[in-house]
Amino acid sequence: MPLPLAGITILSLEQFGAGPFGTVHLADLGARVIKIEDPTTGGDVGRYVPPFAEGEDSLFFETFNRNKESISLDLNTVAGRETFEQLVAKSDAIYSNLRGDVPAKLRITYDDLKHINPAIVCCSVSGYGMTGPRAKNPGYDYMLQGLAGWMSLTGEPDGPPTKSGLSLVDFSGGFVGALALVSGVHAARRDGIGMDCDVSLFDTALSMTSYVGAWHLTGGHTPIRHSHSAHPSLVPFQVFQTQDNWIVIGCAKEKFYQRLCEVLGRTDLMTDPRFIDFANRYENRDLLIPQLDEIFVTKSTQEWLDLLMPAGVPCAAVNTVEEAFKDEHTISRQMIAHTEHEIFGSVRTPASPVNVGPKRIDHTRAPHRGEHTIEVLQDLLDLTDDQIAALRSSGAFGDAS
């Protein structure tokens, strides 16, 4: 049974994190993702990111590029550009994560390519988008977490502005880029007309302020940070220190708070007018939380889980990364992708969470730079050995040998 996106071909001018994170899920779902790597710059910079980097490969690169192909092509040469345009005629989409003004400079926008393929979809993922006063600025996850207000929301109340432990703007932007591309391809196959997809990491980060942004924009709310990663409005919904570690408790419904009080043997906290409902607990969190702190520190995390989970109280251990990947649910959900690599041996990376149809288990390692150049040109363009040799001599692949 074909994978869901089998039959879609994507030419990708991508590097580092946000771009490749978006297309790795498309590749996992069966799309043919062909990375066009610039032979004059060493290709995708992600190849060289430490730790666990050797030569032109790294575990960072492996994580973002499984199930993809790579061709070396210098678009600044006449032959390289001509070859690229021939590939455009045979493809469904062009995907890039470059500075917002660069797609126009490289002539990879819809207006640049529609005469070659009227149905081509040109998806750009950039820091600030292709328009606006910051379009020419480079944008990276860290600075976007700051600019979009995320850092002001994260960390302890008396601590410095804090970023997320993961590059969530990059990853979210990759997902948005993948969604935009698939939507564009669907519309192009329906209507026969392609388009530009302008995905901004800044827009993505701003949109993810979600209800906090709505509270501010509509109600003039000024968000503040709460201790112990507490939810801004639901109480209790945060981490608590236990005898040996930490535990997350989430009372997102009144019934969960009632169950919690029963397990704790503190039904008085359930009937106390100050804590009787969401609104009152929100107003009196500084009175309630210290009492819960004193209780949770009396038992280990596992002891609390054994009591709370059977009672139907939403809770979870605060795992290390090692513990998270050893969790029985991780194994059951097949959330580790396995590939074999000449240098790194058996490579295990987090699998895609996008489950459409059967779970893909036959993954291939990330490509070596230019590994599939000949194969792709023969397959998509039916080029002969002599034609490929002529392209090589002209410098299209980055060398004149």
How confident is the model over 213-267, as pLDDT tens digits?
A: 999 999 999 999 999 999 999 999 999 999 999 999 999 999 999 999 999 999 9
Tell me the HSE value of 185 on the side-chain side, using a 13 A CA sphere. Answer: 20
Q: Could you give the CA distance from residue 385 to residue 285 in angstroms, rounded to a whole number?
A: 73
Tokens of 177: 């880029």
Three-point CA angle 151, 127, 69, nearest 5°: 120
Tokens of 392: 């090589």
Domain boundaries, the chain: 9-208+335-393, 227-241+246-317
CB 383, CB 376: distance < 8 Å: no
pTM, full prediction: 0.94
How confident is the model over 157-190, as pLDDT tens digits?
A: 999 999 999 999 999 999 999 999 999 999 999 9
Hey, do 9-208+335-393 and 227-241+246-317 end up sharing a CATH topology, with the first three levels equal? Answer: no
Q: Could you give the CA distance from residue 244 to residue 158 in angstroms, rounded to a whole number?
A: 25
User: Which residues does 36 contact at the CB level (< 8 Å), separation at least 6?
Assistant: 11, 12, 13, 71, 73, 75, 84
pLDDT band of 359, cuts 50, 70, 90: confident
Does an H or E element contain 63, and which?
A: helix 59-65
Tokens of 141: 């996850």
How confident is the model over 280-336, as pLDDT tens digits?
A: 999 999 999 999 999 999 999 999 999 999 999 999 999 999 999 999 999 999 999
Q: Report the SS3 class of residue 355.
A: coil
Class of domain 9-208+335-393 (CATH, top level): alpha beta
Torsional sign, CA 263, 265, 270, 274: negative
Residue 83 CB: number of other CB atoms within 10 A? 27
Catalytically active residues, by annotation: 231
Domain 227-241+246-317 has CATH 3.40.50.300: no
Q: Report the SS3 class of residue 209.
A: coil
